[in-house]
Amino acid sequence: MSLSDEIAERLLTAVIEGDHPPGSMLPPEGELAVRYGASRLTIREAVKVLRSQNVVRVVRGRGTLVNPPDRWTALEPMIRAATAAPRAKGGVVSERLIEARRMIEIGAVELAARRRTDEDLDELRRLLDEMRAAAAARDTEMFVDADIAFHDVVMRAAGNAFIPLLFEPFGRLLIEGRRETSAIPEIREHAIAHHVLILQALETGDPDKARRAMHAHMAQTADDLRTYVIAGQSGSDGHGSGAG
């Protein structure tokens, strides 16, 4: 990694951590050069990296303005910002992630119903058994690993190499989101029940049935997030009554 790329990473971290919040101006080149022990040219190249990702933009006559994350055009900075989001915003991030999952995974399971192999089904059965065992043992980490692996097998079974790659950048968010929800017994029970239905649909090879099963799973996941996680956070912060 070049010095300018390294400084771009450090600047991005400063933006994500709130040192340079959206709507603020980055310090002048000279000040940044002193802060990071680099030349003005290196600072200019570092800022150019952030400009290429639309993390910042130049405002003529004013300087370099920090854009809000929803205007950034590079996935990695957006994921870093989402991962670092305060708990008050965490529910929004998780809901948006479920929306993205719904768009991809419903289509993927439809293809998987047509293309899955006996080996795929055997692996899904094994992972479902792992989820049951983890739930019985109250082992959240084991449950999360088996849950994510189950969905990975479904995406691979779709027989399209591009589909698994679509979710690769979201790895950290997926794991953290699953840890948060899978720690709740009711959510584990719901997840297992829906994974059973998805597996049964794939066993029949019926694309419509598989699509409906995954749609129901995504809807239940979103509802569980709102009921058990977001409402609970609001209650604990004194802004709501929490889950009943």
Closest CA to 194 of 219, 225, 226: 219
Look at residue 205 and tell me whether its pLDDT is greater than 50.
yes
**The pTM is what?**
0.73
Name, in order, each residue with C-beta under 8 angstroms of 120's C-beta and a sequence gap of 6 or more.
Answer: 112, 153, 156, 157, 202
Query: Whose structure tokens read 């800022």?
Result: 47
Tokens encoding 209: 């049935």
Work out the pLDDT band at 242, boundaries 50, 70, 90.
Answer: very low
- Poorest-confidence range of 14-28, 61-75, 136-150, 223-237? 223-237
- State the average pLDDT for the chain: 89
Torsion over CA of 17, 23, 29 and 32, rounded to 10 degrees? -20
Burial class (CB within 10 angstroms; exposed 0-12, middle 13-18, buried 19+) of 236: exposed
Q: CA 5 from chain center: how many Å?
A: 25
- Which pLDDT value is given to residue 244? 41
- Which pLDDT value is given to residue 21? 93
Ordered structural domains, the chain, with CATH: 3-69 (1.10.10.10), 85-236 (1.20.120.530)
Per-residue pLDDT reduced to its tens digit, 33-45? 999 999 999 999 9
Q: Report whether 117 contacts 111 (CB < 8 A).
A: no
Name, in order, each residue with C-beta under 8 angstroms of 166's C-beta and a sequence gap of 6 or more.
Answer: 104
Q: Report whether 31 contacts 64 (CB < 8 A).
A: no
